[in-house]
C-alpha cells in the first residue's frame, strides 16, 4: 500500500518497516501492525482509515495516493526532514556502511568513474549505493515539491 513511501523514507535515512515484510495473507495483519508499532515505539503510516483510527496517536492516515503529497503530509506534521541521506538500504532497511574498494570494483553496476563519489554498502543485501542520477532525481523531486 505504501511501498514507494517506504523506499523514499529509507533513502531519507528513516528506519522503516513495511507490512510487506509480514506473512502474506495474514488475517491478523492489522492487529499485528498495531502490536509492532506499540512494542517497538513506531509510528504506523497507513492508507486504511479504520486502521489509523484503531492506532490512535500511534498511527497516521495518509490521505493521498501521490508520493510527494504523502511526503509533504508527514513533513508538515513534523515527523520527517525531507532530504536524501543514503544511510539505509532501500530494500531491507539495514544501516549502510562505507563500501570497500573491493565491493565497489566487484559490483558490475558501479559507475566506471568513481572520482568524487562516496559509496555505501548494504551488508545484508550486498548492494552498492552512491549518489548517482537516481539519487539526484529523488533529491530534485523533493526540492521542487517543497519549494512550491
Q: Render pLDDT for 82-107 as a digit per residue (tens, 0 to 9).
A: 999 999 999 999 999 999 999 999 99
pLDDT of residue 23: 63
Nearest of 108, 109, 131, 111 to residue 120 by alpha carbon: 131
Mean pLDDT of the residues in the chain? 93
Mean pLDDT of 97-123: 95
What is the rounded CA–CA span in Å between residue 127 and residue 43? 27
Q: Crossing angle of helices 67-76/3-11, nearest 10°?
A: 60
Confidence of residue 7 (pLDDT cuts 50, 70, 90): very high
Strands (E), 8-118: 44-46, 59-61, 97-98
pTM: 0.89
Written as nine digits, the cell of 100 is 570497500
pLDDT of residue 20: 78
pLDDT of residue 1: 76
Confidence of residue 28 (pLDDT cuts 50, 70, 90): confident
pLDDT of residue 24: 64
Amino acid at each position: 500500500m505504501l511501498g514507494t513511501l517506504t523506499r523514499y523514507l529509507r533513502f531519507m535515512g528513516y528506519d522503516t518497516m513495511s507490512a510487506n515484510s509480514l506473512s502474506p495473507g495474514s488475517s491478523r495483519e492489522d492487529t499485528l501492525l498495531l502490536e509492532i508499532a506499540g512494542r517497538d515505539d513506531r509510528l504506523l503510516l497507513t492508507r486504511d482509515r479504520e486502521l489509523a483510527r484503531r492506532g490512535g496517536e500511534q498511527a497516521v492516515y495518509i490521505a493521498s495516493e501521490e508520493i510527494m503529497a504523502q511526503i509533504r503530509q508527514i513533513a508538515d506534521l513534523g515527523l520527517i526532514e525531507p532530504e536524501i541521506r543514503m544511510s539505509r538500504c532501500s530494500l531491507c532497511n539495514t544501516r549502510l556502511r562505507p563500501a570497500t574498494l573491493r565491493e565497489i570494483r566487484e559490483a558490475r553496476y558501479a559507475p566506471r568513474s568513481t572520482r568524487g563519489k562516496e559509496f555505501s554498502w548494504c551488508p545484508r543485501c550486498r548492494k552498492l549505493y552512491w549518489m548517482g542520477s537516481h539519487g539526484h532525481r529523488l533529491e530534485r523531486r523533493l526540492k521542487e515539491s517543497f519549494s512550491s
